[in-house]
Amino acid sequence: MDSNGQYGQQVVWTVVDSGIGPLLLAATPDGLVNVVFHATDAVRDRALARLASRLGTEPVETPGSPLLAEAIRQVRAYFAGERRDFELALDWSLISGFNRAVLRELASGVPYGTVVGYGDLARRTGQPGAAQAVGVAMGSNPLPVVVPCHRVVESDGGIGGFGGGLETKRKLLALEGVLPEPLF
């Protein structure tokens, strides 16, 4: 119990450099809970305020925390081209229902170097008419990169949208060999 008589959970965070800019990584004792793109000061502050509101405790910057160590190691290895799969405990508490089901299917069923269409992912989760809802789930993904929403594309071959920006999506798909490396 904290000083306000509330049962809050511990949330630790840090910012790591990556091939797509600074990423905020946040974890609880249950696992990695949030990854945030483009973690400049303003973006970081908004993300931390959202986490505090949703999880009921103030996140603490703790780059050396054992709760973050493996996530930091695996994220760095991924961007160095040395890791294809993330093997991390994930805290799914920021997402529920259909969105969680879609993201779990994505995490387990769409391997490195492959892509899936929104409609196909909807079918895999037993909701064949829910392609647009899959798009909403991708946009609400609290664990991008680790839960690879960048691997979801349009059925007509278009790249689709992406919360981290289309250039970030292109870079991630190029890293995985799906697209050619950007020329500039």
Whether residue 86 contacts residue 63, with contact meaning beta carbons closer than 8 Å, is answered with: no
Type of residue found at 9: Q
CA distance 153 to 10: 35
Q: How do residues 112-134 score in pLDDT, each as one tens digit?
A: 999 999 999 999 999 999 999 99
Paired with 13 in beta bridges are: 26, 61
What are 64-85's pLDDT values in tens digits? 999 999 999 999 999 999 999 9
What's residue 154's pLDDT?
Answer: 92
- Sole residue written with tokens 């973690």: 39
For 131, the enclosing helix (H) or strand (E) is helix 131-139
Asked if 67 is an active-site residue, the reply is no
More confident position, 30 or 4: 30
**pLDDT band with cut points at 50, 70 and 90 for residue 2:** very low
- Asked whether the predicted pLDDT for residue 8 surpasses 60, the reply is no
Catalytic residue of the set 26, 134, 149, 175: 149
Between CA 86 and CA 71 the distance in angstroms is 8
pLDDT digit string (tens) for 148-166?
999 999 988 889 889 999 9
